[in-house]
Amino acid sequence: MPPDVVYDYSKCTGNGQCVQVCPVQILELTADKRWCKAIDGYVDNKEAAEAFHSQVEGKKDAVPIKIHNAMSACLGCAACVAACPEGAINIIPEFAEGQSAVEKIQ
């Protein structure tokens, strides 16, 4: 299974630091620069991209969910994790079988 790039939208401030350091450029900021996200075309589990668009995009305040993106193009280098000052991104080496795209934060 590919790496799981996990974004925590209760923590992301949209500073863009993860986007800048990714060596394969598979992350981006939204047009309004509020959030970072996995680029849709690189997300293998399309429900993750859909969840971002329906549950996070357009919102201004923190959203209490994590989104799990299965990304074959991810090198697993964790440069994004090291760059994020908010602890808002995590890399799990392998996307777990049956992992749902959205994880609610209690």
Residue 18 sits in the site that holds ligand SF4 (CB under 6 A): yes
Q: Does 17 bind ligand SF4 (CB under 6 A)?
A: yes
* 28: Cβ contacts below 8 Å, ≥ 6 apart: 19, 36, 37, 39
Closest CA to 32 of 49, 4, 12: 12
Kindly state whether residue 48 participates in binding ligand SF4, applying the rule CB under 6 A: no
Which of 10, 33, 46, 75 contacts ligand SF4 by CB under 6 A? 75
Q: Does 12 bind ligand SF4 (CB under 6 A)?
A: yes
Token readout for 89 is 């991104």
Q: Does 30 bind ligand SF4 (CB under 6 A)?
A: no
